[in-house]
Chain A
Amino acid sequence: MTYKPGSVAIVGAAETTELGKLPDISQLQLHADAALNAMADCGLRPADIDGIATAREVPTELAHYLGIVPKWVDGTSVGGCSFMIHVRHACAAIEAGLCNTVLITHGESGRSQIGRPVQGVGPSTQEGQFQMPYGPLGPPTMFTIPVLRYLKTYGVGIEKVANVGVVQRKWAGFHPRASFRDPITIDDVLNSRMIAWPFRLLMCCLVTDGGGALILTKADRASSFPTKPVYIQGIGESVETSLISQMEDFTSSRAFRVAGRTAFENAGITHKDVDHLMIYDAFAHLPIYGLEDLGFCGRGEAGDFMWDGNTAPGATGSNALPLNTNGGGLSYMHSGMYGMYALQESVRQMRGTSPAQVEGAELSVCHGVGGMFAASGTVVMSSQPA
């Protein structure tokens, strides 16, 4: 048995009231602010929610803080794609009748670090023994490690990676809430501060505060809500390794391939059906790996595909594929677990309310990464009932 396409819908969706640098609000309250906004979006109160899912914060803390009495709980926390995976688990739970109305929340004080749970690596963990002694300094020095091998394998130049940020900045220009909106050039990217060669500042995501929340229920209940329902057509998930040094193929993510294929098969769609695409971009190489691992481009071809303008605003023709239309983690916002913001933009596109609305878009694929190529979740959404 697989999930029946279109049987669950997103009826409530919202980001926090503000995004950016928010030193006057704690991480827990960012979750709550987003949750309250999503409930207001669809006219619900905490008493109407009977399922809750969140990542990093334990769902227990959030349920109690919000005054929710859940019959179903999911605390899957595998990084920034946890929310895509929550959508999948929620669909299964709703379909199985374990609960009726699920709230998925994200909140993160990534920039201001207010009310953040303590995080860290122990010296006897696998990472502590086999990676940390060599001086990695967070994601900019680890998520990026496979890229030189990719570039050499396919004879791709670093300017193709730099271009990802340039194209996405064009999309960000449409969004009043995006952190960075001014156009940039390839030269701007290639002359920005060196972070971890070959990655420069404008190839890395920004770090901000914010949150988002989704509310899901059975599709046949969706018409009783004031919002335009967004139907879940297919979903996939996978994990590979929490050690970047041990990923099977440095030019491709196994978790991407498994999650993506599962979601496409579940939805019964082909690549030609996709009107809009989000690929979680903590760093500029992610959309390139994602386009190839999801099957939109052949191996080594995604950089050229973007270079030719196919994912940019105004692209026309059969290759046009609007990608990361909020500007992505490189320009819109990135709190640390960005997946929720990619989901929010897919929902806006399917509702027809994005400031960068893709005309006539009916099918959106939203693809997330967790950790550093460690995990993945893919959600296929439709504006049309099954």
Chain B
Amino acid sequence: MSDYQKWIPVPTPETQHFWDGCREGRLLLQRCGDTGRAYFPPRPFSPYTGSRNVSVFEASGRGALYSYVINHRPAKGFEAPYAIAIVQLPEGVRMMTNIVECEQTPEALELDMPLEVCFEKIDDDISLPLWRPAGG
């Protein structure tokens, strides 16, 4: 999609599996083998213990709207106003995202509303994880 005006992420060796998962429509997280706790962003060791004993697993794809702002200034590729949001996953991690298939208003964007992950294909390598109201 050559008309894509937004920022396109470039994976590193440590994050490649995450972006490979997104391309296949799977949201991959990692888990610390010592504590069992999930973590994000990707890295080949546990931020809790420093152990390299970690594994990759597929997240449930469920989440809840944790916090956000609605940007009103013009930004390349975006139609303002648009929300820049944080989603809380039941697995225990948070990530930044945009909320799609939803009006970008304080009334429509209610904190703690249930969300589900979806993916926007940007090019052959990158699909971006986005979140939308659950059960839509």
Q: Which of A's residues lie within 8 Å of B, judged by CB?
A: 122-124, 126, 128-137, 140-142, 144-149, 152, 193-199, 243-246, 250
* Chain B 1-44 interface residues, beta-carbon cutoff 8 Å to A: 6-12, 15, 19, 40-41
Residues of A within 8 A of B111 (CB): 148-149, 152
Residues of A within 8 A of B15 (CB): 129
The answer to whether A145 touches B41, judged by C-beta atoms less than 8 angstroms apart, is no
The answer to whether A149 touches B41, judged by C-beta atoms less than 8 angstroms apart, is no
Residues of A within 8 A of B68 (CB): 145, 148
Interface assignment of B48: CB less than 8 Å from any CB of chain A: no
The answer to whether B9 touches A134, judged by C-beta atoms less than 8 angstroms apart, is no
Chain B: how many interface residues by the 8 Å CB criterion? 35
Q: Which of A135, A148, A193 contacts B71 (CB 8 A)?
A: A135
A-B contact count (CB 8 A): 110
Cα separation A244 to B84 with both chains bound (whole Å): 12
Interface assignment of B62: CB less than 8 Å from any CB of chain A: no
The answer to whether A199 touches B96, judged by C-beta atoms less than 8 angstroms apart, is no
The answer to whether A197 touches B69, judged by C-beta atoms less than 8 angstroms apart, is yes
B73 to chain A, nearest CB (A): 6
Interface assignment of B61: CB less than 8 Å from any CB of chain A: no
The answer to whether B96 touches A197, judged by C-beta atoms less than 8 angstroms apart, is no
Closest to B78 in A: A135
Q: Which of B40, B72, B77 contacts A195 (CB 8 A)?
A: B72
Residues of B within 8 A of A196 (CB): 69-73, 84
Interface assignment of B66: CB less than 8 Å from any CB of chain A: yes
The answer to whether B9 touches A199, judged by C-beta atoms less than 8 angstroms apart, is no
The answer to whether A144 touches B69, judged by C-beta atoms less than 8 angstroms apart, is yes
Residues of B within 8 A of A250 (CB): 66-67, 86
The answer to whether B84 touches A126, judged by C-beta atoms less than 8 angstroms apart, is no
Interface assignment of B117: CB less than 8 Å from any CB of chain A: no
Given A141-B84, A196-B72, is A128 in contact with B7 using a C-beta cutoff of 8 Å? Answer: yes
